[in-house]
Chains A and B, each alone.
Chain A
């Protein structure tokens, strides 16, 4: 086909029209910025979180959107690293029309991004569980998972009250997550007047845990508690623990009960208790998310915090009846008894939305919901 001046002008005019329509459509949407691992080693859990977020976004849009506008997600890749997360957030912060953000499940990434989030001065929903994140003096951070002080509290209560065992050993990673959990557990045990018989840190990505296992074995502990960051580390430790004959009850943070660890360690983890923020049988919202996830992705979700983050944001912005950041913040802080997949949201003045955890037991390889423990003080 010969290109004539008239055809060229016609094509340019059509392209211009599409651009104007496209811009108008883009301006009609309400934008939420999302920092998510699209590449790198934690891309798989990142994909599950993004899937749950998309389910919530579609449900919000089907129900009429936010302030009558469709929600549009602007996703930036954090490359599974702290520098990547900082870069991803700075890219999102350049969009003036983004109303709020959904941050990271990784505490260390949240700490890295927190100064830029303070400058952006817009609400950020996040999933990192290091308790200090909501005590950084940053009023824009809102946590959609229970923090580690609650997991430590549940761990303490479960060991002392349910299992009635007070000689407790702790194995934890020496990264931000592991030391955060350690501090929280020590604080709770201290309140109960109990001292750990072993407090053993380890560096991530170890091929062998024999020295740690032998330390647990010789400590005289009646029950083992743990904060493992990486699931393969937890699986290697579990296998060596059982091989070297340690059979005491084990109450761990989520990694001990996650599908990946259960798949790797198999029977070495049978009978262990996990402190989990998400359990499908814990409440009707979690059940509904599980069903929707299976229908759409033919798999089960292992968390619901991004789903809750979108639902909480939609509720808060609609309640505030404004996209003004300060008004949204006030509306989030006023949320009470909001049913989420991770639990009932009651935001406190620090920005923590959830105040309880589930206890899940590994029953011959299947994670079974045992009980939910909620704190009101």
Chain B
């Protein structure tokens, strides 16, 4: 039982990481109708910015994080102008290819600047964690769980309860109609990219003390976060959270009780099962052609 509790805590911690990155995907899907395969690179860039502010410049940790979030938001707008804006009338696929190209460019740019070696960075707290009964709770996993919960609440509030959220959703559903209604479509799309990049960067900063900072740190996580997005329901905020958490728990328990080397396979087996049995995911709506 002790082992199971420890595994559940770790699975939820890893799942929260997937969920946070998945939220970045969902934002852009909902507000701009774009699948951004550079989402993992947003996380990597955020982590490197924290390395620069905290490790190199010696700024206080939280100030470094705040500065990195602001810079990532600005970078999101630049990213949108470079990858999305020139192709916005050409459908989804060219934008997807464009974001893949940008992600390769960003990876190689960081490789040139910082090299391939991983960089160690401290966590939010000095203490490694707390022992609660038989379970050791890593302080960074705890931080991720708490911050992920806060972000979910914030994101849900913005999308469902504010005028800005309604405008963002309207822009996603029909840009022409939104424009006719006086919604500044360009501003809405840029806000979404900025928020998504900031969110991705924050996820990277939170993961960095666990995985270390490297060019490849977010590749596998972004892939699983996208799988979590499909499992939870394409474009669904609660789906992204639940899908991410479920994925983390399933692969951790699968590794512990069935096979460690096939740990990654459990996540993608789960994705395959959902695609076969419930393609709309946990919270997605069944898509049907209009008559």
Interface residues of A (CB under 8 A from B): 40-44, 174, 200-203, 205-208, 210-212, 214-215, 218, 231-232, 235-236, 243-245, 260, 263-264, 266
In the complex, what residues of A have CB within 8 A of residue B138's CB?
243
Assembled-state Cα–Cα distance A268/B84 (Å): 45
- Contact across chains for B117 and A205 when beta carbons are under 8 A apart: no
Assembled-state Cα–Cα distance A208/B267 (Å): 14
What total of A-B pairs shows CB separation below 8 Å? 82
- Contact across chains for B120 and A207 when beta carbons are under 8 A apart: no
In the complex, what residues of A have CB within 8 A of residue B115's CB?
43-44
Q: Per-residue 0/1 for B214-253: is the Cβ within 8 Å of any A Cβ (1 yes, 0 no)?
A: 1110001100000000000000000000000000000010
Which residues of B from 6 to 23 have beta carbons under 8 Å from A?
A: 6-7, 10, 13-14, 17
Query: How many whole Å from B32's CB to the nearest CB in chain A?
Result: 29
- Contact across chains for A205 and B220 when beta carbons are under 8 A apart: yes
Q: A231-B118, A236-B211, A260-B117 provided; 6 other pairs, C-beta below 8 A?
A: A43-B116, A44-B115, A203-B261, A207-B211, A215-B260, A235-B212
In chain B, what residue has the closest Cβ to A242?
A: B128
- Contact across chains for B260 and A214 when beta carbons are under 8 A apart: no
Query: How many whole Å from B112's CB to the nearest CB in chain A?
Result: 10
Query: How many whole Å from B21's CB to the nearest CB in chain A?
Result: 12
Q: Per-residue 0/1 for B11-49: is the Cβ within 8 Å of any A Cβ (1 yes, 0 no)?
A: 001100100000000000000000000000000000000
- Contact across chains for B211 and A211 when beta carbons are under 8 A apart: no
In the complex, what residues of A have CB within 8 A of residue B269's CB?
none
In the complex, what residues of A have CB within 8 A of residue B71's CB?
none
Query: How many whole Å from B94's CB to the nearest CB in chain A?
Result: 28
Of A211, A218, A235, A245, which one neighbours B252 at CB under 8 angstroms?
Answer: A211
Which of B6, B13, B255 has the most A CB atoms < 10 Å from its CB?
A: B255
- Contact across chains for B263 and A211 when beta carbons are under 8 A apart: yes
* Between-chain CB contacts (< 8 Å), 20 pairs: A40-B116, A41-B116, A41-B215, A42-B116, A43-B116, A44-B115, A203-B264, A207-B14, A208-B10, A211-B256, A211-B263, A212-B260, A215-B256, A215-B260, A232-B118, A232-B214, A236-B211, A243-B136, A260-B117, A266-B120
CB of B150 within 8 Å of the partner chain:
no
In the complex, what residues of A have CB within 8 A of residue B10's CB?
208, 210
In the complex, what residues of A have CB within 8 A of residue B260's CB?
200-203, 211-212, 215
In the complex, what residues of B have CB within 8 A of residue A232's CB?
118, 211-212, 214
Which of B117, B221, B252 has the most A CB atoms < 10 Å from its CB?
A: B117
Assembled-state Cα–Cα distance A212/B212 (Å): 19
Which residues of B from 198 to 222 have beta carbons under 8 Å from A?
A: 207, 210-212, 214-216, 220-221
- Contact across chains for A214 and B211 when beta carbons are under 8 A apart: no
CB of B129 within 8 Å of the partner chain:
yes
Which residues of B from 160 to 219 have beta carbons under 8 Å from A?
A: 207, 210-212, 214-216
- Contact across chains for B215 and A210 when beta carbons are under 8 A apart: no
In chain A, what residue has the closest Cβ to B128?
A: A243
Query: How many whole Å from B49's CB to the nearest CB in chain A?
Result: 19
Assembled-state Cα–Cα distance A260/B14 (Å): 24
Assembled-state Cα–Cα distance A212/B6 (Å): 12
In the complex, what residues of B have CB within 8 A of residue A231's CB?
118
Assembled-state Cα–Cα distance A205/B224 (Å): 13
Which residues of B from 107 to 160 have beta carbons under 8 Å from A?
A: 115-118, 120, 128-129, 136, 138
- Contact across chains for B118 and A207 when beta carbons are under 8 A apart: no
In the complex, what residues of A have CB within 8 A of residue B216's CB?
41, 205
In the complex, what residues of A have CB within 8 A of residue B261's CB?
174, 201-203
In the complex, what residues of B have CB within 8 A of residue A235's CB?
118, 120, 212
